[in-house]
Chains A and B, each alone.
Chain A
């Protein structure tokens, strides 16, 4: 009898134990502009959940450490956070970290992880069974861009401009293959060393190729504006496009004249997008009256998907193990994100292959939709 009572007490204690979301977050260093937004996004979503009573009465506690966007610091943060807390969910800051920590994640088997990386390599449920990407991977982003191009101008020529980093090189080879499949021609590939400031020689190369479209990948801001400005000065008519991390509205605004007409792929809706009913976006605008970056949306949605998988696991009466939570995540089908993404989403594997083309409007100083939502595989 006493044992039974003790068991019940334990069970209740268990039921009220906080669920911990740990994070290796780049609050300083080269990726800090994103880290700050991600940090705020995660906190805000968890606040919404906790204010509403948590998940089955259990609050979610967010424990984050700054990493400076360095893999060793990220791993140290992971070790520190997981040794001091019983961590169920984890946010990692880079592809390098996601790959480094993967064996440890599998060995522990107690959590699922997502992060700032959209690396194509991570989009493999066999190799990375406990991780997911809260959006399309970089190759899928190219897929969305190229599908748009193929529709707008069949047979168009494309130049790929990318940074000589793991991030930059990620979608290049599969992107070329994809272009061929869609009947597009990749006429030039230009790689720039990381941190390069002056791109005059690269622009000369671009002019010789005369592409209809130029896709930048592996950058945040520099050297995209200088590229576009010089190309326009030389009378080039190419359309310029980017992928997720160069698509934040405040970043594009900074491009000055070069911003006009800049396009790219974005899986999330922008902070100011008031089209249709979007309770979550309304909530965000209420919580934070000033513009929030696309990195914020990324953190916010990641926290939403993570908590959703916890909820589904607990609802099914299962233990919160990595495998169970990942399985629950994969049951997400036609899920309404409250307007963060414009269409209902499903996560059949490790990624969310959906996005939309946005184009910068110089008059309104905003990225505005230039296509419908494009869902790969549909």
Chain B
């Protein structure tokens, strides 16, 4: 066995996995606070890629100005969506809310197609392009830097959740909405905050994913792999998204190299079924969560 090759494949897999993990965190944030399964996360990620493209190529902003603006735009979208679409659905059956997010995904894909057309586009190059070698092993620079940024963002999210007032309020609401409410936590604001944080994270992830593979109205399909990641990790666990993301990235890479590309999804979904059979609530998920 060629260990160098295995190492390179594993590194590439972990790099891709970091992006899954980041988007997974966005998914978990919403589920944790509001119990909404947000299937539009892939499309929100796509919109982030397009907003960034619009700011840089259309408005001529510098990349370093465009990135924070994209993330802000993501947060704004999150606030609007939560207030206009999700809040009125409070108390409705989870399936209805779930369907609303599917509709939202289609709307976002349509809006992007109307605004930018259906052609696949490439984002301007901004990630350093010098090859990275860890010892002998090659690592694609975009994947490496993408993973690094993803790791920093995830770390930021974890710290914010643990120590910031908003984070504490979010965790309290996730644990027991009624209790949080009676302790004076504005639950409505927490919902809004979780959507804003999640959509901002997804928009940021969209910039990285777009920088690696280009953007197109169909890139929301990335959300499908992320769904597997969070189901494997546990819908309400940030740590689960992290481990799930890396695991799925690694499994996909190894299956792709040693079995062939056509086995990637097969391997991923087999793993999904296996984990669901052993731990129906995911590796780190809490027991009582509802499955759709």
Contacts and interface: CB of A to CB of B under 8 A. Distances in A.
Given A233-B141, A234-B138, A255 B122 contact: yes
Q: How large is the interface on B (under 10, 10 to 19, 20 to 34, 35 or more residues)?
A: 35 or more
B33 interface: no
Interface stretch (A111-119, A223-231, A335-343): A223-231
Given A32-B117, A197-B222, A204 B138 contact: yes
Given A33-B119, A191-B260, 18 more contacts: A29-B218, A30-B218, A33-B117, A36-B118, A192-B261, A196-B264, A198-B143, A201-B256, A202-B257, A222-B214, A222-B216, A223-B213, A225-B214, A226-B142, A226-B212, A233-B141, A254-B214, A256-B122
Contacts of B218: 29-30, 195
A193 B264 contact: yes
A308 interface: no
Contacts of B143: 198, 200
Nearest to A222: B214
A204 B213 contact: no
Contacts, number: 117
B253 interface: yes
Contact of A201 (B213, B257, B262): B257
A226 B253 CA distance: 16
Given A30-B218, A191-B261, A234-B138, A204 B9 contact: yes
B9 A201 contact: yes
B120 A33 contact: yes
B23 to A, nearest CB: 11
A230 B261 contact: no
A125 B78 CA distance: 55
B15 A198 contact: yes
Nearest to B222: A197
B283 interface: no
Given A197-B213, A198-B212, A233-B140, A222 B120 contact: yes
Band of interface residues on A: 35 or more
B251 to A, nearest CB: 11
Nearest to A33: B119
Interface string B254-284: 0011001110110000000000000000000
A151 interface: no
Given A200-B12, A222-B214, A233-B140, A33 B118 contact: yes
A35 to B, nearest CB: 8
Contacts of A203: 140
Q: Which 5 A-B pairs rank lowest in CB-CB distance, beginning with the nearest?
A: A32-B118, A197-B213, A200-B12, A191-B261, A33-B119
B270 to A, nearest CB: 14
B193 interface: no
A223 to B, nearest CB: 6
Contacts of B140: 200, 203, 230, 233
